[in-house]
Amino acid sequence: MVSSPTEMMLSFLEKVYPLYLNESRLGIDALNRVFQYLLEDDITLESVHDQKKVKAAKKEIIDINFDVKSMRKAFQLFILQAFKDDPIISPEMTPDAIGYFIHYLILKLFKKMPDIIFDPLMGTGNLMATIAESHEELMVVGVDINDRILELSRNYLDALDIHHQLFHQDTFSFQDRVFPLIITDFPVHRKDNKGPYLPYYVILHHLKNLEADGYMIVLIENDFFSVAPVENFKELLQKEAHLFGLLKLDDSLFKNHPKSILILKKKHAPEEQIERFLVADIPSFTDQEAMSDTLLRLNTWFEKG
């Protein structure tokens, strides 16, 4: 029986990743070294015996023409495994199903994919990779303050041949560039955190980096509008952007912290108004009948716009 490209890449990773983990001890570092070997043929293993093992594993896949989707599926599983093997990093990765649904929304908002998109909290890059999967010319720009995660994201996008510009810096220091589309998945907010509510500040800061008539699509926890004093945020937000849509995602997508998709549209002027607001409860993506009905309603809403 012939193995699929995904199975072949998984087989390679299953053979090679444990060897690097044995030396690195931390999952993210181990996986970054695997990517380094896959991309640049730089083994970086001390054991000569292990070096022979990884060379033999790579020889088995060297002639396979991997497509982006097959590679991404395999890499995803090992990114999740790397999180489990890395006590320093909190595991968060946007599920594929959400990425594909956001891709659908983008094509409804723009008619065609913009040339460039920006993620101000890049993380692993899986959300951007999902969106870019079928758009070879798309440029992904991202920022993250965690150097190890940013290296993983860079390696991940390199392996998938996705064009990217990634910056290791605090998201609030990134400015003076404008984009037609900004997308991010906000990390879960610790309820015992007494500090400023990060999503409010990220949104307000990066609206400056959004073109007029551009869109910001963000994944927010369902208590987004009640977790912190919100009136000042709303007042500042509505000077810069329209509240364009709020789509509640099905709870089954999340273990503990259900989320919604908030869509903002950048204004030309503070007094500018829009008449319609997109609101919907999105069913489980595995419920084909309910999802088909929902997409029909969403398509009708967009067509009327």
Residue-wise DSSP of 135-156: -TTPEEEEEES-HHHHHHHHHH
Does residue 212 sit in the same domain as residue 68?
Answer: no
In angstroms, rounded to a whole number, what is the distance separating the alpha carbons of residues 134 and 81?
Answer: 26
pLDDT in the model for residue 192:
65
Query: pTM here?
Result: 0.93
Lowest mean pLDDT segment, chosen from 157-166, 226-235, 296-305? 226-235
Rg of the Cα trace of the chain? 21
pLDDT in the model for residue 191:
65
pLDDT in the model for residue 228:
72
Does residue 48 sit in the same domain as residue 130?
Answer: no
Q: What are phi and psi of 179, to 5 degrees?
A: -135, 150
Q: How many domains does the chain have?
A: 2
Tokens in use for 116?
């460039």
Laid out side by side, the sheet with 179-185 consists of 163-168, 139-144, 116-119, 179-185, 210-221, 259-266, 241-248, 278-281
By residue range, what is the domain housing residue 184?
A: 96-304
Does residue 172 sit in the same domain as residue 294?
Answer: yes
Positive or negative, the CA dihedral 199, 202, 205, 211 is negative
Domain boundary, last residue among 31, 62, 84: 84
pLDDT in tens, 116-153: 999 999 999 999 999 999 999 999 999 999 999 999 99
In angstroms, rounded to a whole number, what is the distance separating the alpha carbons of residues 272 and 111?
Answer: 23
276 burial type by CB count under 10 A (0-12 exposed, 13-18 middle, 19+ buried): exposed
Domain boundary, last residue among 52, 84, 116: 84
pLDDT of residue 88 exceeding 90: no
